[in-house]
């Protein structure tokens, strides 16, 4: 939200008045998005400077986890500036934007299309009515809606609304006989060079919780042998993007495939790559995979234990008195 021109007014006697309301709503499509919370709100000045708000500057009661208002297929997040926040906003230079970082996870969805809208509710010094604007239209709404909990819900008719497209990648994990293999782990890379070097894998991105760091994005094959990456960034024009996939951990009894697979993220349900692993079961050591390593440790411990017993038996037999 950009700083309104009439957020502050000074009369001929030097008396200052401020806007009475600065608020916005963000309807989240519950079938696509899971709300994680929000991070520290801030003002971003035209030169890029960020000014964090204090908790006394805003009302976030409508933005807390498990407290969003439900409206049909949407969960409505609301955020309002208090008087202190409005005064701070008014002190910022023209062109300053109010930003509230909101965290969501994208649920698996073949369509990969999310219409993302938001509404602002503003009553400045030059008007006695609340101006309700919707990002899907170019002009202020004429319906006089004043309830921040009732934004205009996004629809395909919102020609001005930003649309987010995502893609998915499906990996089929099998053994040499074509049977499905579960519990194989894969990572995704933006380039073949990074994939071959095992560096710079695609990460989950920033969380709404600042205490949760970014981490590598992984997918694990299920009982049907399918490992799925969803909600992936794609080119907004072609609505698809190339990635590279590598198996990073094989299930017990299998060797890592070792190949780099080029895949295309887009909105479909087709398998992008089939990854075959060679069986490597006992007594054909060594096993690979996390569970395999644990099994080897157990076998080694057992051998050491039985060897120790043998030494004890030998000592006892050696120490037995002779007749």
- Shared domain check, 270 and 169: yes
156 is a domain residue: no
- pLDDT above 70 covers a percentage of the chain that reads 76
DSSP E strand stretches across 94-225: 97-99, 102-106, 113-115, 119-123, 131-134, 163-175, 185-189, 218-220
- Cβ within 8 Å of residue 121, ≥6 positions away: 21, 22, 23, 24, 25, 130, 131, 132, 146, 148
State residue 172's pLDDT score.
Answer: 96
Q: Are 128 and 179 members of one domain?
A: no
Domain containing residue 207: CATH number: 2.60.40.10
Provide the CATH number for the domain around residue 89. Answer: 2.60.40.740
- Is 199 found in the same domain as 101? no
Averaged confidence pLDDT in the chain: 81
- DSSP E strands, 135-184: 163-175
In a domain, 303, yes or no: no
3-state secondary structure of 204: coil
- pLDDT top residue among 244 and 150: 244
Peptide bond into 283 cis (omega under 30): yes
Report pLDDT digits (tens) over 227-266: 999 888 898 889 899 999 999 999 988 988 989 999 999 9
Reduced to 3 states (helix: H, G, I; strand: E, B; else coil), residue 246 is strand
List, for residues 72-120, the tens digit of each pLDDT value: 788 889 999 999 999 999 999 999 999 999 888 776 565 677 777 888 8
Which residues have CB under 8 Å from 1's CB, separation 6+? 22, 24, 97, 98, 120
pLDDT score at 3: 92
Domain presence at residue 142: no
* Dist. CA 186–CA 219, nearest whole Å: 5
Q: Using the 3D structure, point to which of 134, 156, 179 is the last residue of a domain.
A: 134
Q: From CA 248, how far away is CA 182, in angstroms rounded?
A: 14
* Confidence band for 312, pLDDT divided at 50, 70 and 90: very low
Overall size of the chain counted in residues = 323
Are 126 and 172 contained in the same domain? no
Indicate the SS3 state at residue 8.
strand
- Residues 23 and 65 reside in one and the same domain: yes
Provide the domain limits for residue 36: 8-134
Residue 320 has pLDDT above 60, yes or no: no
Q: Which residue has the higher pLDDT, 285 or 93?
A: 93
Q: HSE on the CB side for 321, CA within 13 Å?
A: 1
**With bands split at pLDDT 50, 70 and 90, how would you rate the model's confidence at 193?**
very high
Query: What pLDDT score was predicted for residue 111?
Result: 67
Domain count, the chain: 2
Structural domain contains residue 321:
no
Residue 323, pLDDT > 70, answer: no
For residue 209, is pLDDT > 80? Answer: no
Same domain for 90 and 184: no
Q: Torsion-angle region of residue 240: left (phi > 0), alpha (psi -120 to 50) or beta?
A: beta
In a domain, 96, yes or no: yes
pLDDT value for 310: 47
């Amino acid at each position: 939200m950009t700083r309104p021109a009439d957020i502050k007014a000074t009369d001929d006697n030097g008396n200052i008045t401020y806007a009475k309301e600065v608020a916005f709503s963000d309807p989240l499509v519950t079938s696509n998005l899971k709300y994680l919370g929000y991070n520290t709100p801030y003002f971003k000045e035209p030169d890029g400077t960020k000014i964090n708000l204090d908790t006394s500057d805003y009302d976030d009661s409508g933005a807390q986890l498990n407290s969003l208002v439900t409206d049909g297929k949407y969960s409505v997040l609301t955020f309002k500036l208090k008087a202190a926040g409005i005064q701070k906003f008014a002190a910022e230079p023209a062109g300053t934007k109010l930003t509230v970082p909101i965290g969501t996870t994208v649920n698996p969805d073949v369509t990969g299309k999310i219409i993302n809208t938001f509404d602002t509710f503003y009553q400045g010094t030059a008007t006695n009515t609340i101006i309700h604007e919707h990002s899907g239209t170019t002009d202020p709404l004429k319906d006089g809606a004043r309830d921040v909990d009732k934004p205009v819900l996004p629809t395909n008719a919102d020609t001005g609304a930003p649309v987010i497209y995502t893609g998915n990648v499906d990996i089929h994990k099998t053994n040499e006989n074509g049977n499905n293999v579960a519990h194989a782990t894969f990572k995704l890379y933006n380039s073949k060079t990074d994939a071959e070097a095992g560096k710079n894998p695609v990460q989950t991105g920033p969380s709404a919780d600042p205490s949760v760091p970014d981490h590598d994005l992984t997918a694990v094959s299920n009982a049907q042998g399918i490992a799925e990456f969803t909600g992936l960034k794609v080119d907004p024009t072609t609505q698809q993007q190339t990635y590279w996939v590598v198996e990073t951990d094989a299930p017990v009894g299998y060797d890592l495939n070792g190949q780099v697979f080029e895949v295309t993220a887009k909105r479909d349900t087709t398998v992008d790559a089939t990854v075959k692993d060679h069986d490597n079961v006992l007594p054909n050591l060594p096993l690979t995979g996390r569970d395999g390593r644990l099994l080897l440790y157990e076998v080694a411990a057992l051998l050491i234990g039985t060897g120790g017993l043998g030494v004890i038996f030998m000592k006892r037999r050696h120490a037995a008195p002779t007749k």
